[in-house]
Amino acid sequence: MTDSLKLVPSVIALGMFDGMHLGHRALVRRCVEIARDMGCQSVVYTFRNHPRSVFATEPVPLMSAAQRESIMRQLGVDRVDMVEFTREFASLPPKAFLETIVARYDVRAVVVGEDYTFGYRGQGNAQTLKCLGQEMGFQVEVIPFVRLYGEKVSSTRVREALANGDTQLARALLGSVQANREP
């Protein structure tokens, strides 16, 4: 294998990251921190389009791909890979999906949120990832939900706030304004 084809040791953050809200930011920060501790590059592996866009109506985008990448870079990510989500991707079983990641990177660790799902019809979850990580030789860290005003921060919650005209809550969830968060 030539040096140009040599895979770089990497810590990978997996997820849609469609709004780069407070939960996404916590996950990406942790990926960067683990990568630095391990002497690896930090990578966010995500999709350009929302997976729902392949089978149903795509949710209203909260941010453009460029905005998402800009925030990830501001958080210290070394590499952002946004790939197109396709029907072919959707048909991959969980292990096959991870095999595509392992073929692309020298994976040392993977960081996901506690509600992360992957593979065909979301059959894989954080526990599946931990089992497969052990089998494939990488660590897995699952980031607990970030809560704001007693409720889980999520892209769905941001969309609901916007639909209800509560731009202040949406901005707080997205990290655009200071808010009192629970630990």
- What residue ranges do the domains of the chain occupy? 7-145
Give how far Cα 129 sits from Cα of 19, 42, 88, 109, Å: 23, 18, 20, 11
- Per-residue pLDDT tens digits for 26-36: 999 999 999 99
3-state class of 2 per DSSP? coil
Instruction: Report pLDDT for 2.
Output: 41
pLDDT at 94 over 70: yes
Q: Please list the residues that pair with 81 across neighbouring strands.
A: 45
E strand map for 23-138 = 41-47, 79-83, 106-113
The 8-class DSSP code of residue 114 comes to T
Instruction: Report pLDDT for 52.
Output: 76
pLDDT at 1 over 80: no
- Alpha-carbon distance 180 to 163, whole Å? 23
Q: Which class is domain 7-145?
A: alpha beta
Instruction: Report pLDDT for 4.
Output: 46
**pLDDT above 90 covers what percent of the chain?**
75
Query: Residue 5 phi/psi, 5° resolution?
Result: -100, -5
- Per-residue pLDDT tens digits for 158-175: 999 999 999 999 999 999
Query: Residue 43 phi/psi, 5° resolution?
Result: -130, 135
pLDDT at 81 over 50: yes
Cβ atoms of 116 and 15 closer than 8 Å: yes
Instruction: Report pLDDT for 162.
Output: 94
pLDDT band at 48 (very low <50, low <70, confident <90, very high): confident
> Rounded to 5 degrees, what angle do the CA atoms 145, 159, 74 make?
60
